[in-house]
Amino acid sequence: MEGRGLQRAAQLARHICANQGASQFERIHKLEDPLKPVQWRSCSVGGVDFEEILYEKSVGEGIAKVTINRPECRNAFTPKTVEEMQRAFQDARDDSDVGVVILTGKGTKAFCSGGDVAVRSKQGYVGDNQIPRLNVLDLQIQIRRLPKPVICMVAGYAVGGGHVLQLVCDLTIAADNAVFGQTGPKVGSFDAGFGVSAMTHMIGARKTREVWFLTRLYDAQEALSMGLCNTVVPLDKLEEETVKWCREILQNSPTAIRVLKASINATEANSDAQAMAGNSTLIFYNSEEAEEGRKSYLEKRKPDFSKFKRLP
Ligand SMILES: CC(C)(COP(=O)(O)OP(=O)(O)OC[C@H]1O[C@@H](n2cnc3c(N)ncnc32)[C@H](O)[C@@H]1OP(=O)(O)O)[C@@H](O)C(=O)NCCC(=O)NCCSC(=O)CCC(=O)c1ccccc1C(=O)O
């Protein structure tokens, strides 16, 4: 064998080596370069810049990224943060080039520590316009109804209302420094909507009771074994791995994914139950008991719930 013949044989040998063990199906669907660095461009919506979040899209790929940008308070959300997230998610929904959305928090210490306790009032969370609201409940519905997968990318804490946000996302990729849990009963709050239904669906009623009644925090490996997240990776590989999952999803039929997401959600409790639960949180925030939880957190002391009766 000489010249062209030799070259062709070498080419064939390389091809066989590269694909050894892979079926034809696997070879057809293999990503060209799943670890190729992603290039992000910053986006505004309707010409208005964001103040409490970052909103980016990948160049030429179909990934949108929403980042809560309040690292100084562990990415706790205010009504404004939530309103900005709602605008970004609406844009990601409307943009037919976007096929998957990443939800994350700025920095490595926290994905999100829930509602900003400092702006909680007796009627909900108060924003710049002084109107109290619980608008994170609408955001939860928006994420669930978004006809594209939402992947939560968690480094550090995902606690309180931040943990509920990770629960309503379709998939969660956690860094090895991630910590999950609910804090509500410590600080005079609870999410008896998706905070209970999505969690029960995911980890079962026994474990859900434990998470809510004891308010313990769980490290990434515990969370993985409970089923609270999909995988755990080293912190410095978090975005790389999340983007890899996005790219795999983006290769598949968008309509199939859309219907499957809705169908999986339909196996769970509904949005009317969430609204009822939200109303009970609102009523609870008016009580002295909830106020003790909120005040104790801000005063950096242990709450004293001893004077509140356990009714028969
Ligand atoms: C997240 C912690 C475990 C991190 O601990 P650590 O790393 O040691 O940092 P800290 O020193 O504690 O925090 C640094 C800095 O950030 C401030 N901060 C942190 N979290 C919050 C927060 N949620 N609100 C306000 N400020 C926060 C903290 O005070 C420090 O400030 P300094 O000025 O530097 O002192 C830990 O921080 C922690 O446990 N945080 C509180 C977690 C929490 O309890 N969150 C609230 C849970 S209730 C909730 O989220 C509402 C639920 C909800 O949204 C909802 C549900 C159902 C119906 C309606 C609603 C609704 O909309 O309310």
pLDDT 10s digits, 150-164: 999 999 999 999 999
> 68, 69, 73: which to mutate for ligand 1, most atoms within 8 A of CB?
73
Mean pLDDT value across residues 128-149:
90
Please answer whether residues 34 and 20 qualify as being in contact, where contact means their C-beta atoms are separated by less than 8 angstroms: no
Handedness of CA 225, 229, 231, 237 (dihedral sign): negative
Q: Whose CA is nearest to atom 13 of ligand 1?
A: 73
191: Cα separation from own chain's centroid: 16
Q: Is 110 in the pocket of ligand 1 (CB under 6 A)?
A: yes
Q: Whose CA is nearest to atom 63 of ligand 1?
A: 134
Distance CA 65, CA 39 (A): 11
Q: Is 181 in the pocket of ligand 1 (CB under 6 A)?
A: no
Give the tokens for residue 271.
């949005």
Give the distance (Å) from ligand 1 centre to CA of residue 190: 13
Average pLDDT value for the chain = 91
Q: Is 189 in the pocket of ligand 1 (CB under 6 A)?
A: yes
| Helix-strand-coil split of the chain, %, nearest 5 | 45, 20, 35
Q: Whose CA is nearest to atom 14 of ligand 1?
A: 73
Give the predicted TM-score (pTM) of the model.
0.90
What is the ipTM for the molecules in this complex? 0.96
Atom of ligand 1 nearest to the CA of 285: 63
Distance CA 67, CA 88 (A): 10
Give the distance (Å) from ligand 1 centre to CA of residue 203: 24
22-to-225, 248, 250 alpha-carbon distances in Å: 29, 17, 21
Q: Is 74 in the pocket of ligand 1 (CB under 6 A)?
A: yes
- pLDDT for 270 equals 82
Could you give phi then psi for residue 266, rounded to 5 degrees?
Answer: -70, -15
Angle between helices 271-285 and 288-298 (to 10 degrees): 80
Q: Is 276 in the pocket of ligand 1 (CB under 6 A)?
A: no
> 68, 82, 117: which to mutate for ligand 1, most atoms within 8 A of CB?
117
Q: Is 126 in the pocket of ligand 1 (CB under 6 A)?
A: no
Please answer whether residues 161 and 105 qualify as being in contact, where contact means their C-beta atoms are separated by less than 8 angstroms: no
Please answer whether residues 303 and 188 qualify as being in contact, where contact means their C-beta atoms are separated by less than 8 angstroms: yes
Q: Is 91 in the pocket of ligand 1 (CB under 6 A)?
A: no
Q: Whose CA is nearest to atom 52 of ligand 1?
A: 161
pLDDT 10s digits, 250-298: 999 999 999 999 999 999 978 889 999 999 999 999 999 999 999 999 9
CB neighbours of residue 49 within 10 Å: 10
Distance CA 213, CA 232 (A): 26
CATH superfamily of 36-298: 2-enoyl-CoA Hydratase; Chain A, domain 1 (3.90.226.10)
Q: From edge to edge, which strands make up the β-sheet containing 218-219?
A: 110-112, 157-159, 179-181, 218-219
> 52, 78, 113, 197: which to mutate for ligand 1, most atoms within 8 A of CB?
113
Distance CA 302, CA 292 (A): 10
Pairwise pLDDT comparison (89 vs 29), residue with the higher score: 89
Distance CA 280, CA 200 (A): 19
pLDDT 10s digits, 212-256: 999 999 999 999 999 999 999 999 999 999 999 999 999 999 999
**Strand 171-175, strand 150-154: pairing:** parallel
- pLDDT for 161 equals 97
Q: Is 165 in the pocket of ligand 1 (CB under 6 A)?
A: no
218 CB contacts (<8 Å, ≥6 apart)? 179, 180, 181, 211, 226, 228
- pLDDT for 272 equals 87
Distance CA 106, CA 43 (A): 16
